[in-house]
Amino acid sequence: MKTANHTALATGFLPVMEQFYTIQGEGYHQGKAAYFIRLGGCDVGCVWCDVKESWDAAAHPHIQIEDIVKVAQATPARLAVITGGEPTLYDLNELTTQLKAAGFQTNIETSGAHELTGHFDWVCLSPKKFKPPVERVLKQADELKIIVFNKSDFKWAESFAAKVRKDCMLFLQPEWSNAEKMTPLIVDYIKTNPQWQLSLQIHKYIHVP
């Protein structure tokens, strides 16, 4: 059964754009082997999104959750990252329950645009200006990852750092198309504000998914 404010689907199915075994390229778990489950559907619509093909849930097959987990189990991975699109569009209780039963650590990458469902070991919150996160998700975040596109984003980042838990990890990540310009500014900002850390999309530098 779907919870309020979550997209209704046939029981036991989720729209999957892609799923693949790679390494986590960003944030706190950067460099770790990880199995990614990218769900289709997004109502946030970032202009610089690098997976805009994920936005339309109807463009992607609805796959039975049991089959999603079976494919993940066929790899050596024991870290599962649920991403999108915007994965909080869906009730993730069944998917995360099955993943944990199969021995996976469950992580999510979300803008926090909707209430979080499921059983997660790590919540990476990356809020977007196009649709702000719900308040509860701010307190559930283990990691705050701010995408920096221009100088004004540093002030915006601090506005969210003030709302998350004190033990939440803080990351600044240059937006890929503007990375050459923004990365030096981020480095200088972190040297002045060492509570923040640098996140780079290393998967794009080493050319893996």
Closest CA to 37 of 50, 21, 53, 51: 21
The owner of tokens 């003030």 is: 162
pLDDT score, position 2: 43
Give me 30's structure tokens. Answer: 């950067």
Confidence of residue 8 (pLDDT cuts 50, 70, 90): low
pLDDT score, position 53: 86
CB-CB contact of 115 with 93 (8 Å)? no
Q: Which residues contact 89 (CB under 8 A, 6 or more apart)?
A: 6, 7, 39, 41, 42, 43, 57, 114
pLDDT score, position 1: 36
* List of domains in the chain: 13-205 (3.20.20.70)
Confidence of residue 4 (pLDDT cuts 50, 70, 90): very low
Residue 58 class from Cβ within 10 Å (0-12 exposed, 13-18 middle, 19+ buried)? exposed
For range 39-65, the mean pLDDT: 89
User: pLDDT per residue over 78-127, tens digit each?
Assistant: 999 999 999 999 999 999 999 999 999 999 999 999 999 999 999 999 99
